[in-house]
Structure 1
Amino acid sequence: MLGERDFDDWADRYDQSVAASDAAGAYPFAGYERVMDSIFSRVTARRGARVLDLGFGTAMLASRLYDAGCEVSGQDFSTRMVGIAREKMPRARLVRGDLADGLAPELADGPYDAVVATYSLHHLDDARKFALIRALLGLLSEDGVVLVGDVAFRTRAELESCRAAAGDAWDEDEIYFVFDELSREFPAATFERVSPCAGIIAIPRGQARA
Structure 2
Amino acid sequence: MEERWDFDSWAESYDEDVMSDGWIHSDYERVLRLVAERAKGVVVDVGCGTGNILRFLRCERYIGVEPSEGMRKAFREKWGFEPIDGHFLEIPLPEGSADTVVSTYAFHHVPDEEKGEAIREMLRVLRPGGILIIADVMFESEDEKRRIGEEDGILEEVLEEYFATLDHLGAIFERLGVYWEAERVNRYVWVVAVEKHSNLLTPDHNP
TM-score between the two structures when normalised by the length of structure 2 = 0.82
> What corresponds to 1:160 in structure 2?
146
Give the Å deviation of 1:153. Answer: 1.7
Retained in 1: the 8 A contact 2:75–2:81?
Answer: no
Counterparts in 2 of 1:18 and 1:205: CA distance versus 1, 3 Å: same
Question: How far apart, in 1, do the equivalents of 2:59 and 2:134 lie?
Answer: 21
Taking only the aligned residue pairs, the percentage that are identical comes to 28
1:142 corresponds in structure 2 to 128
Per the alignment, do residues 91 and 78 of structure 1 end up closer, same or farther by CA in structure 2, a change over 3 Å counting?
Answer: closer
Contact preservation (8 Å) 1:138, 1:206:
no
* Distance across 1 between alignment mates of 2:53 and 2:139: 22
In the alignment, structure 1 residue 204 sits paired with structure 2 residue 190 = no
Q: For residues 120-179 of structure 1, what are the alpha-carbon distances to aligned partners after superposition, in whole Å with 9 as ceiling and x for unaligned?
A: 121112231111211222321222111000111223333122211133661433111111
1:37 to 33, 40, 44: 33
The letter for the 1-side match of 2:168 is E
| Structure 1 residue 70, shift from structure 2 partner | 3.4
Partner residue, 1:51: 43
CA distance, structure 2, for counterparts of residue 182 and residue 122 of structure 1: 12
Determine if contact 1:57/1:85 at 8 Å carries over to the other structure: yes
| Consecutive unaligned residues in structure 1, runs of 5 or more | none
For residue 11 of structure 2, give the secondary structure of its aligned residue in structure 1: helix
Give the Å deviation of 1:201.
0.8
Q: Which of 80, 84, 93 is residue 95 of structure 1 equivalent to?
A: 84
What does residue 73 of structure 1 align with? 63
The aligned length equals: 194
Structure with the largest fraction of helix: 1
Aligned residues of 1:52 and 1:115 also touching (Cα < 8 A):
yes
Q: Distance in 1 between matches of 2:31 and 2:51?
A: 14
Letter in 1 for 2:191: I
TM score, norm. by length of structure 1 = 0.81
Q: What are the superposed Cα offsets for residues 35-86 of structure 1, whole Å, 9 maximum, x if unpaired?
A: 111001111xx4xx10111110111014542xx3431112112212111222
